[in-house]
């Protein structure tokens, strides 16, 4: 066996010297299509602010701006044992979180369960049965109980239901529409809490639904629990979203509750729906195709331009178009695998952007292994540039939502807690987003960014548990605004 010295990290600056003229022209055209300049960023952000305001009005707008009935931040002294259920786009996660007496501390045990693809477009009852089954497995394993009915007190649970829902109460939620590839009949327009509770009751599980939350709201609360300068929670993953704390007096659509105007209430923006009217976002023909071929055409316009679910598909559509219509891309090769819709995800682009070699050998191997395509060096250079353009556009547009909340709330400095696979794993996403924020908010060069987007705490687990704890604390204090069923909470 030969011992090699430690591998020096290769540098890659790239070269277009050997790229044929027709491919160079296509690269220039792609740069024109996918580059978002600072003037456009500011235009998008200013329109974003107006749409946030419209969403809070009685009439409403494209951005739902859902009141969550989370009335303020934790103080760090919440205590107790709580369950958290996280239903996201790919996995189902069950957690048990212990909040000890030490301020801002927590202990967590958790298990993940794969969300079967067939459930995402299947029957409503099958979905809730599967979720209840996972909860039962978790409790039986971690509590080693033969008879769950013998528990003398139900475990309070925070349910992270990461889909747009209207909430008149914190312990219920009417699903507005499915996102993230879900399309289960018989759930949209219905309160998901009774559907979930019926499945729990069927199994006699000792669980009390304390709060139904969105992962973004959980991210806001969990991040503030450990860092009180966090004022915005964001998700950049399969989907995109943000949450922040508003004053009740600034939310006209809940004025009928007659709450104190300075009382805080967390708003789940659901701003993936920004610009569904197609007024300001710089959509390309490929964005239009993604929208028209999606299960929900005309919805989630912003999300379809920046979320991980769509970045790979955007990349794929461009390559197919280049092969079929624009130039001799992958000439004479079988691209049948590339023609399969959603056969590429954001990790494919991430891998390309991380290829450190001048000859893009790892990218070439990726195309050969995953798509059966033997790409030459100029074609690989185009693919590399296309991945950079799509990834950069997503990061720069994502900054517009954060900037819009800052402008609306006159926030000059804060931390922003961000989570999601794209934020955490996509190369350069954080730096590109930070650069866009500087351009939008006109920060002076050479100084520390006053609004700093950082990795968030576990919003869908710890955040859900904290919100359940906050809800119980409010019940004990007699503050029942937005709580429907207090039975079994104390």
Active site residues: 162, 177, 215
With a CB cutoff of 8 Å and minimum separation 6, the contacts of 183 are: 120, 121, 295
Distance CA 121, CA 184 (A): 5
**Which residues on adjacent β-strands are paired with residue 451?**
414
Distance CA 130, CA 310 (A): 27
Alpha helices by DSSP H, 231-359: 285-292, 303-306, 308-321, 346-354
Distance CA 277, CA 298 (A): 8
With a CB cutoff of 8 Å and minimum separation 6, the contacts of 230 are: 220, 223, 224, 414, 415, 416, 417, 456
Q: What are phi and psi of 231, to 5 degrees?
A: -120, -10
Distance CA 302, CA 292 (A): 14
Distance CA 394, CA 427 (A): 12
Q: Are 221 and 68 in contact (CB under 8 A)?
A: no
How many helices (H) and strands (E) would you count in the chain? 14, 13
Structure tokens at 354: 């991380």
Question: How is residue 43 annotated by DSSP?
Answer: H
Task: Transcribe 171-219 into DSSP letters.
Answer: T--EE----TT---TTTTTSBHHHHHHHHHHHTT--EEEEEEE-HHHHH
CA of 349: how far to CAs of 333, 345, 422, in Å? 21, 7, 11
Structure tokens at 255: 């004025």
């Amino acid at each position: 066996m030969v011992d090699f010295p430690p591998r020096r990290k290769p540098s890659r600056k790239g070269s277009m010297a050997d790229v044929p003229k027709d491919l160079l022209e296509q690269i220039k055209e792609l740069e024109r299509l996918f580059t978002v300049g600072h003037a456009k960023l500011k235009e998008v952000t200013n329109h974003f602010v107006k749409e946030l305001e419209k969403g809070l009005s009685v009439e409403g707008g494209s951005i739902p701006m859902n009141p969550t009935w989370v009335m303020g931040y934790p103080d760090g002294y919440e205590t107790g044992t709580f369950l958290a259920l996280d239903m996201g786009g790919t996995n189902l996660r069950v957690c048990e979180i212990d909040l000890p007496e030490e301020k801002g501390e927590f202990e967590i045990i958790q298990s993940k369960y794969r969300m079967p693809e067939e459930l995402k477009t299947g029957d409503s009852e099958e979905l809730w049965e599967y979720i209840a089954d996972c909860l039962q497995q978790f409790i039986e394993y971690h509590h080693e109980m033969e008879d769950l009915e013998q528990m003398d007190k139900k475990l309070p649970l925070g349910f992270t239901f990461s889909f747009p829902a209207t909430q008149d109460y914190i312990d219920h939620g009417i699903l507005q529409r499915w996102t993230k590839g879900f399309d289960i009949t018989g759930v949209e327009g219905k309160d998901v809490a009774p559907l979930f509770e019926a499945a729990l009751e069927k199994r006699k599980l000792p669980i009390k639904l304390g709060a139904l939350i969105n992962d973004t709201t959980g991210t806001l609360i969990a991040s503030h629990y450990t860092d009180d300068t966090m004022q915005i929670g964001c998700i950049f993953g399969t989907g995109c979203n943000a949450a922040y704390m508003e004053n009740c007096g600034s939310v006209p659509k809940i004025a009928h509750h007659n709450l104190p105007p300075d009382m805080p209430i967390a708003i789940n923006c659901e701003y993936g729906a920004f610009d569904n009217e197609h007024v300001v976002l710089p959509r390309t023909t490929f964005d239009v195709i993604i929208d028209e071929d999606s299960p929900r055409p005309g919805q989630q316009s912003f999300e379809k331009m920046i979320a991980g679910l769509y970045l790979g598909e955007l990349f794929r559509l461009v390559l197919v178009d280049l092969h079929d219509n624009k130039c001799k891309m992958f000439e004479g090769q079988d691209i049948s695998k590339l023609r399969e819709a959603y056969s590429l995800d954001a990790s494919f682009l991430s891998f390309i952007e991380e290829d450190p070699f001048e000859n893009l050998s790892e990218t070439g191997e990726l195309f050969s292994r995953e798509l059966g395509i033997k790409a030459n060096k100029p074609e690989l250079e185009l693919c590399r540039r296309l991945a950079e353009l799509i990834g950069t556009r997503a990061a720069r547009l994502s900054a517009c939502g954060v900037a819009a909340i800052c402008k609306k709330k006159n926030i000059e400095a804060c931390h922003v807690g961000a989570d999601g696979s794209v934020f955490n794993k996509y190369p350069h996403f954080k730096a590109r987003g930070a650069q866009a924020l500087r351009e939008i908010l006109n920060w002076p060069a050479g100084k520390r960014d006053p609004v700093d987007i950082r990795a968030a705490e576990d919003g869908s687990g710890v955040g859900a548990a904290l919100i359940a704890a906050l809800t119980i604390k409010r019940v004990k204090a007699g503050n029942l605004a937005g709580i429907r069923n207090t039975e079994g909470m104390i």
